[in-house]
Structure 1
């Protein structure tokens, strides 16, 4: 037994009841003789005296006493500074003492520490991948992807620069930089305007499908000497160029750079390659999203009116504000439609939801409104037809709509709404108020009939129509948004009336703070400025908008009495002759003698038809604006039809003559009867009024 102990690689000690060493094998002597107070032997020393050369000596004594008291083995790891190794002292109680085994565990500790570091790196790698995955899952657009990578990849690696480029296959495989972060403005301008060289790190990683790590500026310039200017302009010292591969094909490249020299180890390089796969998938998804969004917005822009008409009875300006970048397009729309006899229709609506389907539905509704408006339907009847159309499109489609018709001959406006927010009337004094309407439910689920409201709109007033996206945000309910809209209107009109705002800049007069006639039929700069003021006040940042928003501001303007003339005609064949005489006299007063002959023929045919096929009362009205309107009304609802007359027919050519002499013509119906109207273009030299 003693021979075996003498040849043990591990140290072995026996300690008596007083904690003195009475036996030490050679391995223990070597360890404790150097560590102890006496250089010749450890025998005779107290155990903790002999172990003074080991750290945690005080704790060793306590462990020994604990083992002796409990009778159970114990142990402790201690470090020996003289050789830097760690040793494990196993304490085993024996009768009248204790045995101590001393094992060198330095290699085991090294392996354990390395395993711990490996586990820690794995945890870190998993955490980084998880964090980037979460961030990229919420990245809808390409710019969202760039921001997520900059936030989640650069800091953990100590990187300071990021560029992401995508392949443009339609342009001979050129790479377009879609994001650059952490670079001087001069470098950013350079990479965004200049194409990526055919021989470059990006081109190489795309061709090879493998990453490229460049540790120094000298190495970069040695590999790509023609890019020295770009390298110096970047201000970076080391780079990692990563291919972005999605669905097995390269779609772009990512560059991560460092402001100081940096050599990435194998684990970091492996991690970057794993992250590049996540970036590629997110980038491809974002590109598809951006393409779909761009197509939808292009469709929407094509469906909205490019320019609003400036009409004798009304001028208008409008704004369409898409929601934030992360939201698909919606179905908000607006329009200004000229009707017969100088009347004007204002329409604004909102298809609920977002996406191509909603944008397409908006286009269909706008087309339907234009078609129904041409039929001269009353606002409530028009909404009935729209409600049927939306109901037929699908159970999940709904839309709000507000339709108004302004008549400049009497300055009255008729409104009807289906689930839409009420418009605002700003009277000539500058006071703004919401018009009280019966909104009914949205189109598709509304319950006709729709209620109409008639309101006198004196000259100098403004009408403000809008969709709920202008008033409502994620933190602002509808009621508060409407209050803010009214307050913004009051403030804007006060600013205009002060002479310090748009009125002072454009020279446009105001009346009690409300912009008045700007003196022509072209675009109205004040209404444009008012639209900008309102949108800036309610949606100062695109990110504030949670829904698309549309705004339509209109300035109605009534016809002057001197531009209108009307007469009641007898219900007999002589009415046509009397009408011709009245026409000649009125057109002479208006200095429109060139139109007398044609107008006499038109009026003669219309009055003759009213006498023959209609019933009284028969009225004739002339309106002078940007055209000459001739209007004959009677109490009959019989619809006039143009028919092809045979050569032997004595009649049937009257309406054909009216069509030939008019720029356009038509009929509209009211409860008391019908109105047949014609429009003739004024001579170039004629000026209304």
Structure 2
């Protein structure tokens, strides 16, 4: 080789090393890495890659579908592209950062034209994806704020599908729904999970042909009939017979497919029927997945015989009901798609794909399985998945706290963590935590007046019907107080926040009991956020001055409880110059507004009015503060006074 050739090779090496895109060269069908540039090493977090295969260096490439597109490029000789794929690659330091990439895989050929290797070019596009997601979230908040009229088809779909699924002590349910057309979000798929009176759980997944208003209306009628019959006694054949009669009178319902399953979480016994519908998939806790045998029932309107199948779920087993939109994907044979679904469901159930999601197993399988399967193929029909996992019953919550202001924050956090572990919805968590905070505050303020601090006992449990029962008890004395002293709001707010509230008073103390049926959210996947919601909230209230605002304004972030109400009162006096200066208070970041905080605002509003000032409380529609201010009849605005938004 001449000096000139060596110089040219060195130039090529330097250019390759400094390229502003991540580049990887591979040879052979096992994709052995032969060259990697600096940016690829940096993004992958792996310093030593050359010589190993992609599967050896990046085990996650197998479960996250990257190896599949490499295999396809090598096998077909056609360039493959993957846009905005969410990946987690394990770095040398053990971390697993999550990023989005655009990936292009190009085949290399020898002189005879045979494929002998591949080149992979990757560009990280995380900022682009997250900015678009942030923009989507801003649009959603604007939609709620302005309460704009939705398209009638979207409104029907959101109304007809359940907003939440029951949470039972021995069963965790979840659902994921992805419409065929993100602009209309309406089709004929539906799902239901119903807590029956005997402790069993009924699962329904159905599919009416077509999209639009007609399909949604038909789906709504079928769902109502099946739900009504199942809630009577859980008899699958009775429910399907009723739906079949409706299909005989309603032409649009003929040919609808449906799968109904009834699980007894106590012993795992399962009955099911597949009326023209794909069979359920059982993902074993310690073994391979398997499809349950189809029962042979026809679609609705095609016959009146609905035979049942039976099986049993062990603790940890997961049952999946899916619509055919997830199986009949573009470019996939039916049998191939069934195998792929089972494999991906096993990986997501085992948390071997996108880890640390903050979701329950059932939620994780619904979200990640749909995402991973649709990455390479897309979808042309609605995609729906309903999952239930049989789990050990949760331990009840029990705390004994000193009746001080610190107990309020501890109870607030403990109840939130316990409910979040059950998979409860944010709305249920907020309501129950608020009620508990008010009840503990009541004990702290009144139970032991005139004496040393006593104890506050907090207990919580989930019954077989999916209802949370919480007790807050003390050993002190009950005192009646005029509204002028306490604001008279605490117990009133408790009654508004939960389904049932009962107070038992006695010589040995007072016990407050609340009952609230909790649900776990069903997920419309076009609205998914990036990353899990926070695991907890700080017991810290921030009062932030906003000097860039056109008029005096502060923003509050954090919980307003008895523990922080005194600080808030002092800060409001300071910013309003004891009521003589007008002030706007932005409550967007308030995570909890207890009655103690409402009293502070009442006094501040009154003080400002006495001094010819004006205290404006801004709480966006749907925020925790807006809900409490409405219940308390405290004047406020849901429109930003300075932007009009």
Q: Same fold (TM over 0.5)?
A: no
TM-score by length of 1: 0.35
Normalized per residue, which structure has more helix? 1
Find the structure with the greater CA-based Rg: 1
